[in-house]
Amino acid sequence: MFSVTVRDHIMIAHSFHGEVFGPAQQLHGATFVVDATFKRPELDADNIVVDIGLALQELNAICKALSYRNLDDEPDFAGINTSTEFLAKVIADRLAAKAAGGELGPGAGGLTGIAVTLHESHVAWASYERDL
């Protein structure tokens, strides 16, 4: 399996519902380093996994749409605990839609999976991986 990873970041504010979240039930900020990994079993005709420039551009667009927002105020996330795991899935699903829409270039049709990892800090991170 071949893979290419691109990186960006998001800076968000949010709060959580439920005792399990302790003090994070209060509004707080978070900065995540976002890694998006594109996978395929064989390289395309140009011997690449995906156009790395387009992958970085589209990840940046997704991150920009989330950054500097209070996710509690976003209609897409109303009443949802926007945990690190949940946000990794949101970003992976949005990247999958871009791949399906041709926004990652014609070679992206051979992609078989996307994995997104959000790094909360140097000691904690969460990932979500999906098939295409």
pLDDT value for 107:
87
Q: Which domains does the chain have, with CATH numbers?
A: 2-131 (3.30.479.10)
> Strand 28-40 relative to strand 2-14: parallel, antiparallel, unpaired?
antiparallel
Q: Closest Cα to residue 44, out of 131, 98, 111?
A: 111
Report the pLDDT value the prediction gives residue 108, as an integer from 0 to 100: 92
Q: Please identify every stretch of the chain with a pLDDT value under 70, giving residue numbers as ranges.
A: none
